[in-house]
Amino acid sequence: MRQEHFIVRHEAEWLAFEQWLDARATRPRRARADRGWRGLADEDLPGAYRRLCQQLGLARRRGYSPQLVARLQELMQRGHAVMYRPPLPRWRRAFEFLLADMPRLVRAESGVMWASLILFAIPLVASFVAVQLKPELIHTLMSTQQVAELEAMYDTASSTLGRKAESDLMMFGFYIFNNIGIGLRTFASGLLAGLGPALALAFNGFMIGGVAGHLQGSGHGEPFWRFVAGHSAFELSAIVIAGGAGLRLGLDLIAPGRRRRVDALIEGGRRGAWLCLGVFAMLLAAAFIEAFWSSIGWIPALVKYSVGGALWALVLAWLWFGGRDRHAP
C-alpha cells in the first residue's frame, strides 16, 4: 500500500487518538466526570493503542517517510505513558477523590442536585413558617413526650446541647450510624422510580423545619442555632447530594434514553456509589463536629456562628471550585 493511501485510511483514527490524549490523558478523573465528551471512548483506548502500534510497525517495514514514522512513534509513546503509568498510592487517590473528583461529580449532576435542593428546602421553609404561625402543628410531627424531650435538650441552662448526658464518643458513633443510614436510604430509594428520594427529602425537610420552628417559637431557639451552626454545612449538604444521586438513579430507571435499562442502571449506580462515598465522608465530618463541638454549651454564640459560617463557606467553595482548573467547566 502506498503511503498516501495508508495515511488516508488511518488519518481519522490517529486524529481521534491524539484528541483523546490532548483532552483526557493528563486529567483522567476529571475527564471521566465530563459527560459531554464525544470523541474516542475511554474503553476503546486499548484497542486504538494496539492498532496504532501495528500501524507503526507497518510504516517502518514499508519504508514510509521519517516524518510519518516519527508522528506515529510520538503518538505510541504518549499512549504507552497513559496505558502503563503506575497507579497512585491509595492515600493520594482518596485525597484526590475527596478534594477534586467528588465536587466534579456533583457539578456534573447539577440538574438533579438543584432538584434535590428544592425538594428539601421548600418543605423545610414551609414547615418552619407554619409552626411559627400555628405552634400546635408540631404535634402532627412529634408526640407530646418527644416535644418535651426536644425542649429539654435545648434548655438554656444546660451545659450540653442537643442531647442528654451521653459521652461524646458514644454520640459520635450514634451520629455516624444515624446520619449515614439516612444518606444511604435516600440514595437507594431511587430504585423506586425516583419517588423514594423525593419523599425522603421532603420528610426530612418537614421534620427539620418543624423542629427549628418550634424551638424558635418556644424560646429555645438560641441554644438550637448554636448547636446546629457547626455541623449543618456538612450534614445538610450531604443529604441534598444523596438525594440528587437517588434522583439520578430513578431517572436512569424510567428514562434510560438510547441505553438498555440495565446498562443505564449500572452506570447510574456506579456514579451514585462514588457520590455516596463522598457523602459518607461528609457525614463522618458532620458527626465528628456534632459530637465534639456542637454539643458544648459554654462556647459563646458568636464563636459558634463564626465557625459555622466559615464551614459553610468552606463546603460551598469546595463544591463550586473543587477540581476546577482554567480549562474545566
DSSP letter at 191 equals: G
Return the pLDDT at 190.
87
Q: What pTM was computed for the model?
A: 0.75
- What are the average pLDDT values for consecutive 10-residue runs of the chain, which has 329 residues? 87 88 67 61 84 91 90 90 76 83 92 96 96 92 90 81 76 88 89 89 95 92 92 95 93 84 83 91 94 89 95 95 64
* Residues with Cβ within 8 Å of residue 299, at least 6 apart in sequence: 226
Q: Which of 274, 285, 278, 275 is nearest to 232 (CA)?
A: 285
What pLDDT is attached to residue 84? 78
Q: What is the pLDDT of residue 88?
A: 67
| Average pLDDT of every residue of the chain | 87
H or E stretch covering 66: helix 66-83
> Which residues have C-beta within 8 Å of that of residue 27, sequence separation ≥ 6?
325
What pLDDT sits at residue 34? Answer: 56
C-alpha 100/C-alpha 225 separation (Å) is 31
As given in the structure block, the three cell numbers for residue 319 are 463544591
Amino acid at the residue 44 = D
Which value, in Å, is the radius of gyration of the alpha carbons in the chain? 26
Is-contact 17 79, C-beta < 8 A?
A: yes
DSSP 221-233: HHHHHHHHHHHHH
CB of 13 closer than 8 Å to CB of 88: no
Give the CA count within 13 Å in the CB-facing half-sphere of 8.
5
Instruction: State the first-to-last Cα distance of the chain, in angstroms, to the nearest integer.
Output: 44
pLDDT at 45: 82
DSSP-derived letter for residue 21 is I
Separation of alpha carbons 59 and 81, rounded Å? 21
pLDDT in tens, 259-313: 888 888 888 888 888 999 999 999 999 999 999 999 888 889 999 999 999 999 9
